[in-house]
Amino acid sequence: MIDVTTMSHTMTHMPEMSMATAKLSSNSSPPPHTLAEDTVPVFHPTEAEFMNPLTFISKIQPIAEPYGMCRIIPPASWKLDSNKISDDVRFTPQVQQIHRLHKRWGPNVQHTAAINQHLLSENANITTTPQIGGVQIDLPQLYRLVEESGGPKIMSDKKHWARIADIMNIHKQAMDRTVRLYDIYCHHVFPYFTLSKEEKHQLEEEVKAIYELQTVEDEAITKGKSMPVSWFSRIARNVQSMWFKDDPTASQVETEYWKIVDERTKHVSVQCGHINTRAQASAFPTRKDSAYSRHPWNLNNIPESASCLLKYLGPVSGISIPTLHMGMLFSTSCWSTDPHCLPYIQYLHTGSDIIWYCIPKSQRSKFRTAMLELAPSLLSNKPRWLKEDCVMVNPSLLKQHGVKVHCCVHSPRQFVVVFPGAYTATISCGYNVSESVHFVVSSKWLPVGMDASLALTKSGERELFSMCALLCGLMQDDKVDAATLSEALPLFSSLVSRELEVRTQLHAAGLRSEKRSVFAESPPPGPNVKKRFSGLENEKVCEICDRICYLSMVLNEQDEQVLCLEHGLKHVQKKKNLKLTRLFLRYNQSELETMLKNAKEKLTYLNSKAENCPPSSSNISNKSKSNNKQPI
């Protein structure tokens, strides 16, 4: 563990954590990954350094970014008492089949498929995997345990089913667990039990052949059913009791987790939740009578910081509005990178630790090469080659392919910061509540963000926000600095040029009707960015490429089809329903050109002012120090 206690960047190596040795079932399984192999920097800011989170992160970035992420431990004065999330808060969780997160097919999946296939052949109405206490039952395990106990004929006593439930570690407080287990066996497993050995073998070969004919892999993570927090916490308790009597260590969780993923002999399904804090509630204080509601490290305040470029967007779900994360034992965030290449901060409010794995930006090429060999059927040839919530590959396998993987254990009341371009994955060690939000400090991110937006469009994925909206807000900010404006101006100029070019092509193709009523009134210049862009989440999206139509859109009023200008041009060129096709604008040509002209004049003025006002000796000293730093 790299421990950085002061901003002098002194680094000391801490003792390695002990790690249990995993028992693997075959020689083909990778060795267990150990948390001590690679760790990320840990920073302990002073009271003064802790007062400005974005300034502090910019200072530590030269040390932390090569690892892809870092951990920040607040000073002793940090006494945040996180809000308890109400038991009545409802959300729709993800259902994650852990044993299928790497390879979708395996011994347990094949056996389960054979059991279900036989039920389907008998016209049984099987739509979901049976559950007890909100936890899916491992049908092959139930089949094996009953058979090892002498078969269903001798399982007439309730005590027999209680013993089976105990072996399966089904929580004793789960309602009617023995009755439910008996019913599940009778309806799901017993019909398969009655088959001959040859019939069972034939069924397994049949389902295997069906799988091999599939051209697209099934999802291992699916949408669950809406539930309150109280229900989720009970399920988390039941899941944990199936694996550990006491609270496990991170090393114990990691060992069991990768055995499940790599061996694929057990059916393990867990859940996790991601909650929009604007729709529900943040775990950070929001009441004005709490001093922590105004604290700079309250994640609700980060995007509105003066130095954060996301302030130009206003509230956007999943970006500038914090997201609350609910986890339980084995809850997983699969390997992924932020779709807009944004950095983000995550705070663990309460509960069990979270294991983080991280691949820094410098390792992206090696990571993709390794993944093409390890999970080729789960990748695409699009710019966004790895979907979110798709695949979990053992870090040990990645290391065998030359990929540098860093890791850490994230404990309650600590922050982690993930830097742009890094790929991360996480495993929860039990029930926990964390919260995250994005941020941007440096204008150097702007061209990166523009490229990321284009990659999303080319990959057919929806943007979470519009770069056009961010640039328009930035152009109209009277307080923007020269460095930010000089980085943004070429991007905005290119954007305006392309926008006006396609508008001209639309007019030449026969589209004459223009309207502005579909958009909110164009925001006038002024400081109240949050108010001006409060409706950004309701933007129209092109139905073909999923791009946000911020500056303009083409609307086919016959079927209410919304199109971006490029796809609108293709529609207009077909000369169909032109009378019912309209071009809607947020800004007309004159307004865009004026915005661009004013920004150029502003930059000229700022540069001239800087040339005529040489920096003081102290500023020169600070500037020379900062030349070695590359803030986010």
Q: What is the pLDDT of residue 513?
A: 80
Distance from C-alpha of 545 to C-alpha of 374, rounded to nearest angstrom? 30
Reported confidence tier of residue 517, pLDDT bands at 50, 70, 90: low
Q: What is the pLDDT of residue 576?
A: 77
Distance from C-alpha of 157 to C-alpha of 416, rounded to nearest angstrom? 53
pLDDT above 90 for 321: yes
Query: Is residue 513 classed as helix, strand or coil in its secondary structure?
Result: coil
pLDDT digits (tens, 9 = 90+) for 447-477: 999 999 999 999 999 999 999 999 999 999 9
Residue 289 identity (one-letter amino acid): D
User: Look-up: residue for tokens 């409010």?
Assistant: 349
Closest Cα partner for 75 from 51, 96, 98? 51
Query: Which CATH fold would you assign to the domain 2-10+37-81+261-278+287-307+326-441?
Result: Jelly Rolls (2.60.120)
pLDDT above 60 for 532: no
Percentage of the chain lying above the pLDDT 70 cut: 88
Average the pLDDT over 101-127 and give the result.
92
Q: What is the pLDDT of residue 621?
A: 40
pLDDT digits (tens, 9 = 90+) for 203-229: 999 999 999 999 889 999 999 999 999
Query: Is residue 262 classed as helix, strand or coil in its secondary structure?
Result: helix
Closest Cα partner for 115 from 103, 126, 104? 126
Average the pLDDT over 493-503 and give the result.
98
Residue 59: CB atoms within 10 Å: 20
Whether pTM exceeds 0.75: yes
| Domain chopping of the chain, boundaries | 2-10+37-81+261-278+287-307+326-441, 108-216, 447-626
Axis-axis angle for helices 158-167, 177-184 (nearest 10): 90
Distance from C-alpha of 283 to C-alpha of 302, rounded to nearest angstrom? 15
Are 69 and 356 within 8 A, CB to CB?
Answer: yes
Average the pLDDT over 177-182 and give the result.
93
pLDDT above 60 for 17: no
Reported confidence tier of residue 38, pLDDT bands at 50, 70, 90: low
Write down the mean pLDDT value for the chain: 88
Reported confidence tier of residue 11, pLDDT bands at 50, 70, 90: very low
Average the pLDDT over 388-416 and give the result.
97
Per the CATH hierarchy, to which homologous superfamily does domain 108-216 belong?
Answer: ARID DNA-binding domain (1.10.150.60)
Helices (H), 224-378: 229-241, 250-263, 364-374
Average the pLDDT over 400-423 and give the result.
97
pLDDT above 50 for 22: no
pLDDT above 50 for 344: yes
Average the pLDDT over 540-562 and give the result.
92
Distance from C-alpha of 13 to C-alpha of 198, rounded to nearest angstrom? 60
pLDDT digits (tens, 9 = 90+) for 566-613: 999 999 998 877 888 999 999 999 999 999 999 999 999 999 888 877
Are 565 and 553 within 8 A, CB to CB?
Answer: yes
Q: What is the pLDDT of residue 157?
A: 78
Q: What is the pLDDT of residue 281?
A: 82
The residue that leads in pLDDT, 529 or 261, is 261
Reported confidence tier of residue 518, pLDDT bands at 50, 70, 90: low
HSE of 393, CA atoms in CB hemisphere, 13 A:
25
Average the pLDDT over 165-182 and give the result.
92
Query: Is residue 567 classed as helix, strand or coil in its secondary structure?
Result: helix
- What residues pair up with 184 in beta bridges, in sequence order? none
Would you give the end-to-end CA distance of the chain in angstroms? 23
Average the pLDDT over 301-318 and give the result.
95
